[in-house]
Amino acid sequence: MVTLYSTNCPKCKVLAAKLKQAGISFETNTSMDEMLALGMKSAPMLRVSDNLGEALLDFSEANEWLNTLKEALPYGH
């Protein structure tokens, strides 16, 4: 499960586009109250959850994660 915490800023739009381009389904959360409650100080943030755990990634970390996924795909994406 992937959740994009977004304020619809330019970086948020770039990250959403990259997720779509990579074929990753995700939910978008724009609730400032929830972002503040989670201690987020900037956007976008990406929450990635799977059976191994959960990670909260900032813009740079999210891009690295996406690049790692692309490299793992056979024949690219």
| Concatenated DSSP letters of 52-77 | TEEEEEEHHHHHHHHHHHHHHSTT--
Task: Assess contact for 25 and 47: CB atoms under 8 A.
Answer: no
Domain ranges of the chain: 2-72
> Residue 1's pLDDT is what?
92
For residue 70, what pLDDT is reported? 76
Question: Which token pair is 20?
Answer: 């779509």
69 vs 56, more confident: 56
Tens-digit pLDDT profile for residues 3-56: 999 999 999 999 999 999 999 999 999 999 999 999 999 999 999 998 888 999
Say what the pLDDT of residue 60 is.
96
Cα-based distances in Å from 18 to 15, 24, 50, 64, 72: 5, 9, 20, 11, 16
52's tokens: 């191994």
CATH architecture of 2-72: 3-Layer(aba) Sandwich (3.40)
